[in-house]
Amino acid sequence: MEKEERHIFIERISKLRVDNNLSARKLSLAIGKNPGYINKLESEKDFLPTIDTLFDILGICKTTPAEFFYDSPSQYKKDKEIIDLLSTVDEDIKQAIITMLKKVKK
């Protein structure tokens, strides 16, 4: 994983923790790690969680992997709602929406 990608990855974990009003210590203990685990994760450049630990963090923070890895996590819920609604309409309506959005984008 590239340095920039690592930085974004760790920032997302940190934001999840803060958004869920969890101290680093509390999150560390909640995932069964030593009290300083999250502090170490958030401060060291070459330290990343295992996939199991990441899933534990996501579970505690009530976040899905899809939301965590989404290009813009803050937009995920809105975009997912649109996708869920679109999945219920027929193909002609989907095509009309695509055509309309392409016109708006120009």
The pLDDT averaged over each successive group of 10 residues in the chain (106 residues) is: 83 95 97 96 86 97 94 88 92 92 84
Residues 54 and 33 in one domain: yes
* Host domain of residue 28: 1-69
CATH number at residue 31: 1.10.260.40
CA angle 54, 57, 63 (to 5 degrees): 100
Between the alpha carbon of residue 100 and those of residues 94, 105, 106, the distances in Å are 10, 9, 10
Contact criterion met (CB below 8 Å) for 1 and 48: yes
Residues 63 and 82 in one domain: no
**Overall domain count for the chain:** 2
* pTM (global) more than 0.75: yes
pLDDT at 13: 95
Tokens at 7, concatenated: 């930085």
Residues 58 and 104 in one domain: no
Residues 63 and 101 in one domain: no
Residues 58 and 91 in one domain: no
* Tokens 């695509």 -> residue: 98
Residues 21 and 44 in one domain: yes
